[in-house]
């Protein structure tokens, strides 16, 4: 049996809001965290409106399905690296602070940038944190591994890892995962959500792109003590564009995720359909554990 994510019947969960000029056209690629104390799901999503610049909007939910949204963006371009937008947030809680890695987009290309918040409204901005070259799809580990912070990022076409002692200075950049020839992830790969720590290893959701530019999602497992070491990779995609809202939109044939959380015995994967709207798909944790053991 191959692992498949199950779509929520209420998809799509969030759509653009025509009355809000900053999010009137597309909303997608949302980061989601669940706060155990507040019992709330917090979402930061990428929004595009009349000026084609990406900003970050905020939504909150008690059940992970019905979200209430603010009518203004909570994070907008603020420097020369971001003139074309702040894209694709990924959230990781470290101590009592949420760190957001995002793509800063300008005429110079894409760069990995970082900001942090405690309330999703007010921010500390740290700017570009990785070397000055095209780089995106970055996600922080939720804890130090062997005494150092780690993040995954993507320099085309591979997934890379970098290390830091303080979260701000990143070194020892190294490739950890490549595209696979003649497969659904043959052109490029990139991290989906920040990796989740499990007893079997660091569990990773990633996206793969094929020669026809179809975006699909897959699972991989990395060594617990050395997350530069790829242990297993599921053969087939766990989600691929099938529904109309995934096949038609700003960019056709795309399922793209920035968020996977463990909640009530399930992995909840928040993903975007066709760079257009937000949706949810889930899979029982126990099923993933069982199937990964067989690989
Ligand atoms: C990637 C990113 C994502 C987007 C995807 C599919 O390169 O730009 O924001 O969802 O392409 O278009």
User: In angstroms, what CA-CA distances link 140 with 17, 88, 129, 255?
Assistant: 30, 14, 12, 21
DSSP string, 162-213: EEESSSSS-EEEEEEE---TTSTTSSEEEE-SPPEEETTEEEEEEEEE-TT-
Pocket test for ligand 1, best of 27, 48, 88 (most atoms within 8 A of CB): 88
Predicted local confidence at residue 1, as pLDDT: 64
Mean per-residue pLDDT pooled into runs of 10, the chain (295 residues): 93 98 98 97 98 98 98 98 98 97 98 98 98 98 97 98 97 98 98 97 98 98 98 97 98 98 98 98 98 94
For residue 274, report the distance from its CA to the centre of ligand 1, in Å.
Answer: 9
**Eight-class DSSP state of 132:** S
pTM of the model: 0.97
For residue 93, report the distance from its CA to the centre of ligand 1, in Å.
Answer: 24
For residue 243, report the distance from its CA to the centre of ligand 1, in Å.
Answer: 18
DSSP string, 70-109: -SS-SB---SGGGTTEEEEEEEEEETTEEEEEEEEEETTE
For residue 282, report the distance from its CA to the centre of ligand 1, in Å.
Answer: 22
């Amino acid at each position: 049996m191959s692992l498949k994510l199950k779509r929520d019947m209420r998809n799509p969960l969030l759509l653009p809001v025509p009355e809000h000029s900053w999010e009137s056209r597309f909303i997608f690629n949302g980061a989601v965290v669940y706060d155990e104390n507040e019992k709330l799901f917090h979402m930061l999503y990428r929004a595009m409106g009349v000026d084609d610049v990406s900003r970050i909007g905020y939504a909150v939910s008690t059940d992970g399905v019905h979200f209430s949204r603010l009518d203004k963006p909570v994070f907008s371009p603020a420097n020369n690296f971001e003139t074309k937008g702040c894209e694709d947030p990924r959230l990781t809680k470290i101590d009592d602070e949420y760190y957001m890695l995002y793509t800063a987009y300008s005429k110079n290309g894409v760069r990995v940038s970082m900001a942090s918040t405690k309330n999703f409204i007010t921010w500390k901005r740290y700017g570009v944190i990785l070397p000055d070259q095209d780089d995106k799809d970055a996600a922080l580990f939720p804890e130090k591994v062997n005494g150092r912070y780690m993040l995954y990022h993507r320099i085309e076409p591979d997934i890379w890892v970098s290390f830091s002692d303080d979260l701000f200075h990143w070194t020892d950049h190294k490739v950890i995962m490549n595209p696979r020839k003649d497969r659904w992830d043959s052109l490029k790969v990139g991290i989906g959500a920040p990796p989740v720590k499990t007893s079997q290893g660091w569990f990773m959701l990633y996206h793969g792109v094929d020669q026809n530019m179809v975006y699909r999602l897959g699972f991989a497992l990395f060594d617990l003590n050395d997350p530069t070491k790829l242990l297993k990779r599921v053969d087939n995609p766990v989600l691929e564009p099938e529904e109309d809202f995934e096949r038609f939109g700003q960019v056709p044939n795309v399922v793209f995720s920035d968020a996977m959380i463990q909640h009530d015995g399930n992995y909840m994967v928040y993903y975007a359909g066709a760079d257009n709207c937000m949706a949810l798909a889930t899979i029982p944790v126990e099923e993933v554990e069982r199937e990964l053991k067989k690989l």
